[in-house]
């Protein structure tokens, strides 16, 4: 209980007082109990024990003989011999049924501080959220695309994502996707492997979504200067004829709160955020 009280002592101060939101919080004496109800410690232990980071050297050594499925994609991002309408019909058939929830892919870069805990704070009432943690240092674009394909097939064969969250480092006008691979307006245009990544990624987006598919960028504010909008427009052009919108809201804005709540248990996210850079108490102390 003492640890829980310490953790949540400043939990209610995560947003500034002048922010438009107000949070109903429990009294100090009730906070430890609520924390224990929200936090499934066995889940955290299990996650740490079976953590699989896409693109890590260990995983690559285990699967070095496997042929990447991404090799079947041509430069336009479509499987050769299958046209747009055929793929659309295949997806429509895969999505039939009242129980189908369109999948949401969550790409998490290991470069994000305490990234290994992000999959444990996602919304537990939404089984459509598919977290993918990848190794920023050693993963390749092919590793990421292959894992997305595997996860979508496991979710429901033939399904495509309607929403995606890319949680990585970056800043105004750029995304730090992989080591030595910074996505800017100029580099996406000049570097073939980077432009091909976005083209090929588009193939996993829905063709039956009546609205544009949505890609959220989190962990950095790409729209901090005009080059951010240029980057997003360039990516949208690369991903045509698929319809997609990019959003990179400030987390403290109304749009940012909506984005967080789409993917995360908001209370656990605030707890994770307040301890993300803490050196006084590591998450291991909670397990």
Half-sphere exposure in the Cβ direction for 31 (13 Å, CA): 19
Looking at residue 142, what is its pLDDT? 95
Look over the chain and give the mean of its residue pLDDT values, rounded to a whole number.
Answer: 78
Q: What is the pLDDT of residues 266-280, one digit of tens each?
A: 999 999 998 887 765
The whole-number average pLDDT for the span 257-270 is 95
Looking at residue 199, what is its pLDDT? 94
Q: What is the pLDDT of residues 195-225, one digit of tens each?
A: 999 999 999 999 999 999 999 999 999 999 9
Name the residue ranges covered by the structural domains of the chain. Answer: 2-62+89-286
- CA-to-CA distance for 70 and 149, rounded, in angstroms? 8
Half-sphere exposure in the Cβ direction for 99 (13 Å, CA): 3
Looking at residue 280, what is its pLDDT? 57
Q: Is the peptide bond before 147 cis (omega within 30 degrees of 0)?
A: no
Q: What is the pLDDT of residues 115-157, one digit of tens each?
A: 999 999 999 999 999 999 999 999 999 999 999 999 999 999 9
Q: How many CB atoms are located within 10 Å of the residue 43 CB?
A: 12
Q: What is the pLDDT of residues 11-61, one digit of tens each?
A: 444 443 333 333 333 333 344 334 433 444 344 444 443 446 877 665 555
Looking at residue 279, what is its pLDDT? 67
Looking at residue 12, what is its pLDDT? 42
Looking at residue 245, what is its pLDDT? 96
- CA-to-CA distance for 195 and 65, rounded, in angstroms? 27
Looking at residue 87, what is its pLDDT? 86
- CA-to-CA distance for 260 and 270, rounded, in angstroms? 10
pLDDT over threshold 80, residue 234: yes
- Split at pLDDT 50, 70, 90, the class of 99 is confident
DSSP E strands: which ranges in 117-249? Answer: 129-134, 163-167, 169-171, 174-178, 181-183, 213-218, 244-247
The whole-number average pLDDT for the span 164-189 is 94
pLDDT: is 5 or 263 the higher one? 263
Looking at residue 278, what is its pLDDT? 75
């Amino acid at each position: 209980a003492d640890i829980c009280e310490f953790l949540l002592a400043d939990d209610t101060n995560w947003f500034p007082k002048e922010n438009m939101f107000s949070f109903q919080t429990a009294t100090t004496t009730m906070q430890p109990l609520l924390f224990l109800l929200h936090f499934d410690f066995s889940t955290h232990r299990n996650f740490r024990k079976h953590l699989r980071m896409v693109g890590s050297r260990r995983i690559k050594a285990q699967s070095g003989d496997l042929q990447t499925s991404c090799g079947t994609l041509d430069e336009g991002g479509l499987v050769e011999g299958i046209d747009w309408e055929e793929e659309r019909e295949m997806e429509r058939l895969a999505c039939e049924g009242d129980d189908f929830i369109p999948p949401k892919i969550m790409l998490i870069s290991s470069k994000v501080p305490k990234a290994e805990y992000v999959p444990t704070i996602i919304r537990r009432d939404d089984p459509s959220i598919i977290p993918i943690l990848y190794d920023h240092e050693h993963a390749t674009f092919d590793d990421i695309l292959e894992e997305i394909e595997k996860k979508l097939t496991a979710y429901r064969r033939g399904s495509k994502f309607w929403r995606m969250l890319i949680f990585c480092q970056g800043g105004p006008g750029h995304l730090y996707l992989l080591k030595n691979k910074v996505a800017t307006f100029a580099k996406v245009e000049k570097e073939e492997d980077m432009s091909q990544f976005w083209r090929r990624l588009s193939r996993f987006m829905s063709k039956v979504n009546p609205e544009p598919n949505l890609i959220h960028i989190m962990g950095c504010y790409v729209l901090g200067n005009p080059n951010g909008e240029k980057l997003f427009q360039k990516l949208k052009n690369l991903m045509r004829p698929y319809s997609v919108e990019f959003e990179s809201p400030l987390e403290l804005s109304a749009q940012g709160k909506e984005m967080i709540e789409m993917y995360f248990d908001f209370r656990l996210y605030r707890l994770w955020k307040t301890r993300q850079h803490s050196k006084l108490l590591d998450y291991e102390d909670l397990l």
